Amino acid sequence: MNSIGDRLNKLLKDAEIKAPELANKIGVSKGTIYNIINGKTIPKQDTISNIAKELDTTTDYLIFGTNEYKDTIEQQLLEAFRELNYDHKVEIVGETTKLLIKQRLDEKKD
């Protein structure tokens, strides 16, 4: 996959989301999304950021085809978690669960 459009198209297929749905969610026209997919336009930075957020990827992946940042963050989190004692691991799992519940409630509001 050589272009932003190719990667965006793959992400949409993987997420089973249609271009018009993504456009609606991030506040751009469906034509904008189709133009990005077809290589007719280079998206603005805020559009790239919104796409990445909505499709659970990174701007690095969309622009360069790498997930280096996301992989690094997840690796750092995993390494730190492994160093915790059992009680602290339980506490982290509890806090993570609270954050996930809050996130899901926030998403339902939108």
Q: Do 42 and 75 sit in the same domain of this protein? A: no
Whether the predicted model's global pTM rises above the 0.75 cut: no
Do 3 and 39 form a contact (C-beta atoms < 8 A)?
Answer: yes
- CATH number for the domain spanning 18: value is 1.10.260.40
- Residue 78: pLDDT band (50, 70, 90) is confident
Residue 57, domain extent: 4-66
Helices (H), 38-83: 45-54, 59-64, 68-83
Q: Do 62 and 76 sit in the same domain of this protein? A: no
Q: Do 40 and 10 sit in the same domain of this protein? A: yes
Q: Do 37 and 54 sit in the same domain of this protein? A: yes
**How many angstroms separate the CA atoms of 37 and 13, rounded?**
12
Number of CB atoms found within 10 A of residue 85's CB: 8
The predicted-structure confidence for 8-48, as pLDDT tens digits, reads as follows 999 999 999 999 999 999 999 999 999 999 999 989 999 99
